[in-house]
C-alpha cells in the first residue's frame, strides 16, 4: 500500500518575505466495509489504521458486540478504493443479513423501483440512547 500522505512544495508570504517549504497533505480514498459478502457502508478516508477502523466501525454501529465476532478481516486494495472485507460468526451473520433486509434504500438514493430514502440517527441525551429510523419520500 502506498503512503497516504504526500509532501507538497509550498510558498508562503510571512513577515514581508516569501518563504518556501513543504507541507504534508493526507490523501483520501473510498473505503468499503463489507460483511459476509455484502457492502454495509462506503466512505472516504485516509487509508491508515484500517483494521482498527473496521473493528471500531463494527462495534460503534452495533454490527458486532465484540471483536471476537469478526472471524476474519482482509484489507483488499482495488482500483477504485479499498475494501475492508469481514466475515462474521454465524450468529452475527444472521443479524447483519436481517438488518440488510430492513434497509429500504441507500441514504439519499433514488431508483426506479422505489422512493428516495435516508437513515437518521437521533441521540437521547447524555445516556447515549440512540434511535435509528429510515425515512422515505
Say whether both 62 and 35 belong to one domain.
Answer: yes
Say whether both 102 and 117 belong to one domain.
Answer: no
The domain that holds 36 is classified in CATH as 3.10.20.10
pLDDT digits (tens, 9 = 90+) for 85-136: 999 988 777 667 666 554 544 454 444 445 555 555 444 444 455 555 555 5
* Number of domains into which the chain is organized: 2
In a domain, 81, yes or no: yes
Q: What is the pLDDT of residue 136?
A: 59
Q: What is the pLDDT of residue 92?
A: 78
Say whether both 64 and 93 belong to one domain.
Answer: yes
In a domain, 82, yes or no: yes
Structure confidence at residue 5 as a pLDDT band (50, 70, 90) = confident
Q: What is the pLDDT of residue 93?
A: 74
In a domain, 126, yes or no: yes
Higher pLDDT, 1 or 112: 1
Q: What is the pLDDT of residue 79?
A: 87
Expressed as residue numbers, the domain containing 125 is 109-137
Say whether both 116 and 129 belong to one domain.
Answer: yes
State how far the alpha carbon of 103 is from the alpha carbons of 55, 57, 94, 97, in Å: 22, 18, 15, 10
Strands in the chain per DSSP E: 5-14, 17-26, 29-35, 38-45, 70-78, 81-88, 109-111, 114-124, 129-136
Say whether both 76 and 102 belong to one domain.
Answer: yes
Say whether both 93 and 60 belong to one domain.
Answer: yes
pLDDT digits (tens, 9 = 90+) for 48-93: 899 999 999 999 988 899 999 999 999 999 988 999 999 998 877 7
Amino acid at each position: 500500500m502506498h503512503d497516504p500522505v504526500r509532501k507538497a512544495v509550498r510558498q508562503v508570504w510571512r513577515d514581508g518575505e516569501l518563504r518556501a517549504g513543504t507541507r504534508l497533505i493526507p490523501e483520501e480514498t473510498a473505503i468499503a466495509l463489507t460483511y459476509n459478502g455484502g457492502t454495509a457502508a462506503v466512505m472516504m478516508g485516509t487509508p491508515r489504521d484500517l483494521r482498527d477502523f473496521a473493528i471500531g466501525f463494527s462495534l460503534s454501529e452495533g454490527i458486532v458486540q465484540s471483536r471476537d465476532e469478526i472471524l476474519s478481516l482482509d484489507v483488499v486494495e482495488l482500483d477504485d478504493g479499498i475494501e475492508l472485507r469481514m466475515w462474521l460468526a454465524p450468529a452475527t451473520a444472521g443479524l447483519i443479513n436481517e438488518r440488510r433486509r430492513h434497509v429500504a434504500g441507500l441514504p439519499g438514493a433514488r431508483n426506479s423501483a422505489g422512493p428516495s430514502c435516508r437513515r437518521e440517527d437521533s441521540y437521547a441525551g447524555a445516556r447515549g440512547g440512540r434511535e435509528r429510523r429510515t425515512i422515505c419520500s
